[in-house]
Chains A and B, each alone.
Chain A
Amino acid sequence: MQKLIASITSRLVISVPYLWMLIFFFIPFIIVFKISLSQVTMAIPPYTPTIDIAAGWQGLINSVSQFNWDNYTFLASDPLYYKAYLSSVIIAGISTFLTLLVGYPIAYGMARAPATVRSTLLMLVILPFWTSFLIRVYAWIGILKPEGLLNQFLIWANVIHTPLNILNTNTAVLIGIVYSYLPFLVLPIYSTLEKMDYSLVEAAEDLGCPPITAFWKITFPLSLPGVVAGCFLVFIPAVGEFVIPDLLGGSETLMIGKTLWNEFSANRDWPLSSAVAVVLLALLVVPIVLFQRSEAKAQESEK
């Protein structure tokens, strides 16, 4: 009897979240793929063919026979899309590297801090993450504007005489990404550095190893799992970022998340925006799988 109850509960525990994710995460992707093979029309919903269950098997075959790869051929033939994908990957790559440059010293400083202040420092890093993403991006508009606070400060300090044009350039987008994603990179690196056995570094230094060499030979390799996880957490969402290039970027900023949004809302071309999403997903599937593996491995090793 007890066994029966146990097996029923275990089935429920697994199947409820499983079904939810199947319906609201997995099946939608199949629908996106299906619509990416359709054509745009002036109708509700604005694509054709729509699959009509009532038309039965024959109707299904009819609809499927109308599917074609036109949207994908269009994506391949128009250099705008190719350039948008490439520049998204480049911008995401550069900003991930910059985030690492800014974030690593912070994580290192936190991990080396006296244990009494460490939890306070940790909270200070997490706190901005709790405030709205949109607000944090918005805050930079007032700073980077030509008549904004950064230019006022630099002119006051006599560093420059004419205001710099930063807002609505790729530089602003990079600043925005580094700023918004910084906690995602600091936290995983901090947690690996905090667990690290620091006596290894001391041993190396006692044996005459200069601190910088000791860092590159011991500390950095040991923190690598955190670095990898953090970089994925920044890079993957940054490739598809929409809000930051839209608010901080300019006409020169070509990012695929923005392109997708424009195709969808301004041109109302749902099939084409689905094709853009499918290609973006194909581009990100390798980093996503690698990220998921490294997370699963980290969880297993903690058992």
Chain B
Amino acid sequence: MNTTWSRFNIVSLVIGFAFLYLPIVLLVVFSFNESRLVTVWAGFSTKWYVSLFNNKSFIDAAWVTIRVGLISATCATVLGTLGALALTRYTRFRGRMLFSAMIYAPLVMPEVITGLSLLLLFVAIGFDRGIWTVTLAHITFTMCFVAVVVQSRLVSFDRSLEEAAMDLGATPVTTFFKVTLPVILPAVVSGWMLAFTLSLDDLVISSFTSGPGATTLPMRIYSQVRLGVTPEINAACTILIAIVAVGVVIASIANKRREVQKARDEQAAARH
């Protein structure tokens, strides 16, 4: 294919990426500002990070967020993978239409509706609101994202491998763990990461479903932002960005390594 990469394409990419990144870069830069104002540069300082680490409510909120994120992402990955299997492997079962609607709808459902409906469910069954209700809510909306990510990998999966394993007497469960899972693992891992960051990020659904003592970091940041913009929030945001950036870089390096290893293995196999 002849790729003509015209000047127009390059200009639109440069402007597009500047638009995407400039606000984040400015936010990070001003977290190191000496002045209390976030818009006037007054020299380099890390004092906002120090005051952030002395702020107990922020630290508590960070722990709540991490716990909710780890538990909900793990449960959502299991449930979402099962959901993806149900959608791709079993094309005919009663209520499949409803099931696929329930998987796709949360992807676009306004968060205020999901949050309100979950809250009313917890109230109706008399479940005290707290860290567990937030976790259940997060599992529910993130598992759909996992299901979609895993499903896109499953549709391109060569099913004859599974059939061969079953013909040789493997049970469906053994087949799944020995044949299917290793192949779809990259999708499952990126599904977990997506679920984790969505959980880390969520404000609206958490605010509806949370109770006393279960303030997540976005809720904490939000209530602070409403009082005014401070460099301390910039510092908190910068730390979150740094965590995500490190995670993404590690994941992509691991991915590259695996690909290189795979190519090497294939070469070695071809030589024998």
Contact = CB atoms under 8 A, between A and B. Distances in A.
Interface of A: 2, 5-6, 9-10, 13-14, 16-18, 20-29, 31-32, 35, 45, 102-103, 105-106, 108-110, 112-115, 121, 123-125, 127-128, 130-136, 138-143, 145, 147-149, 152, 179, 182, 198-199, 202, 232-233, 236-237, 239-243, 247, 257, 260-261, 264, 270, 273-274, 277, 280-281, 284, 287-289, 291-292, 295-296, 299, 302-303
Contact of B102 (A26, A45, A131): A26
Contacts of B229: 138, 141-142, 145
Given A135-B240, A260-B116, A243 B204 contact: yes
Nearest to A287: B108
A277 B3 CA distance: 48
A74 to B, nearest CB: 18
Interface string B153-174: 0011000000000100101110
A288 B104 CA distance: 9
Contact of B23 (A139, A241, A274): A139
A212 to B, nearest CB: 11
A219 to B, nearest CB: 12
B173 A112 contact: no
A261 B112 contact: yes
Contacts of A14: 86, 90, 93, 99
Select the residue from A17, A132, A133, A299 with max chain B CB neighbours within 10 A: A17
Interface of B: 1-6, 8-10, 12-13, 16-17, 19-21, 23-24, 26-27, 30, 38-39, 79-80, 82-83, 85-87, 89-90, 93, 95, 98-114, 116-118, 120-121, 123-124, 136-137, 139-140, 143, 147-148, 151-152, 155-156, 166, 169, 171-173, 197, 200-201, 203-204, 208, 218, 221-222, 225-226, 229, 233, 237, 240-241, 244-245, 247-248, 252
Contacts of A115: 3
Nearest to B171: A5
A148 B30 CA distance: 12
Main secondary structure of the interface of A (DSSP, over half): helix
B108 A281 contact: no
B3 A112 contact: yes
B2 A202 contact: yes
Q: Is the interface of B mostly helix, strand, loop or mixed?
A: helix
A135 B237 contact: yes
Contacts of A274: 116, 120
B118 A28 contact: yes
Q: Which of B3, B85, B110, B226 has the most CB of A within 10 A?
A: B110
Contacts of A27: 121
B123 A17 contact: no
Given A27-B121, A103-B16, A132-B218, 12 more contacts: A18-B95, A20-B140, A20-B143, A31-B124, A105-B12, A112-B3, A124-B20, A130-B245, A132-B240, A138-B225, A145-B39, A257-B110
| Most chain B CB within a 10 A radius of its CB, from A140, A239, A273, A292 | A292
Contact of A237 (B17, B110, B200, B222): B110
A242 B171 contact: no
Name which of B13, B99, B103, B166 has the most chain A CB atoms within 10 A of its CB: B13
A40 to B, nearest CB: 13
Contact of B13 (A10, A13, A106, A182): A106
B19 to A, nearest CB: 7
30 contacts: A2-B169, A13-B89, A13-B90, A17-B82, A17-B143, A21-B83, A26-B102, A31-B117, A32-B120, A105-B8, A106-B13, A109-B8, A132-B237, A133-B203, A134-B203, A135-B237, A136-B24, A138-B229, A139-B24, A198-B2, A236-B110, A241-B110, A242-B112, A243-B204, A270-B120, A274-B120, A281-B113, A284-B110, A291-B108, A296-B100
Nearest 7 pairs between A and B by C-beta?
A240-B110, A28-B117, A105-B12, A17-B83, A106-B16, A109-B9, A139-B23
B120 A149 contact: no
Nearest to B136: A24
Contact of B111 (A5, A106, A242): A242
Contacts of A284: 110
A172 B163 CA distance: 56
B24 A131 contact: yes
Given A5-B171, A14-B90, A291-B108, A136 B23 contact: yes
